[in-house]
């Protein structure tokens, strides 16, 4: 028999485990949800999980920031597989996992989220973060002001050095600096 859970990878409480029990659960900010995540990016009733044929199916409930599975925004119901990454908006990332258990074992689980250590490395984890900042657009200009200031300062120092070398080489100290004693 398999039990299912979400493990929060990023969000307000990383590492928290949400056991998934029952035929239908809602995910959202409201405390009445089966998976309650108190974060501004999560709608009150954000998504619905339905247990069908031994698998969980997730569907967005018209949330403002969207529900994503493995980086793809949901346009309809999607069957979840162990290792799938479910994101609510851009900041909340949950890992869906199936836990095989002994049918004869007694298991007591709370309906509330159970804090735990992050799961072992046996889970299928994406090689890159689910969300990363987009690369700069092609042809996007960089701020060149610091470069112009640096080149200008270097040019100024070089010109000053060249001027003083020329004054010294041509013995024109008294022409340019008559206030110097001995002129």
Query: pLDDT tens for residues 35-87?
Result: 999 999 999 999 999 999 889 999 999 999 999 999 999 999 999 999 999 99
Question: Strands, DSSP E only, in the chain?
Answer: 2-10, 16-20, 24-28, 35-36, 47-52, 55-60, 67-69, 72-73, 78-79, 85-88, 92-100, 114-115
* pTM exceeds 0.85: no
Q: What is the pLDDT at residue 103?
A: 56
* 15 close to 116: Cβ distance less than 8 angstroms: yes
**Residue 113 buriedness (CB in 10 A; 0-12 / 13-18 / 19+):** middle
Confidence label for 130 from pLDDT (cuts 50, 70 and 90):
low
């Amino acid at each position: 028999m398999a039990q299912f859970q979400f493990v929060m990878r990023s969000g307000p409480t990383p590492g928290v485990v949400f056991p998934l029990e029952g035929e239908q659960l809602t995910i959202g900010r409201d405390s009445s949800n089966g998976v309650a995540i108190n974060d501004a990016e999560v709608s009150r009733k954000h998504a619905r999980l339905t247990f069908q044929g031994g698998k969980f199916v997730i569907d967005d409930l018209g949330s403002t920031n969207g529900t994503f599975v493995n980086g793809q925004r949901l346009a309809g119901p999607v069957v979840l597989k162990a290792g799938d990454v479910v994101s609510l908006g851009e900041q909340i990332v949950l890992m869906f996992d199936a836990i095989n258990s002994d049918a004869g074992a007694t298991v007591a689980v709370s309906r509330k989220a159970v804090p735990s250590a992050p799961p072992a490395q046996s889970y299928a984890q994406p090689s890159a973060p689910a969300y990363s900042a987009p690369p700069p657009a092609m042809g996007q200009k960089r701020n060149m002001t610091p470069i112009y200031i640096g080149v200008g300062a270097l040019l100024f120092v070089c010109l000053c050095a060249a001027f003083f070398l020329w004054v010294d080489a041509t013995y024109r100290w008294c022409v340019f600096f008559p206030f110097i004693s001995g002129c």
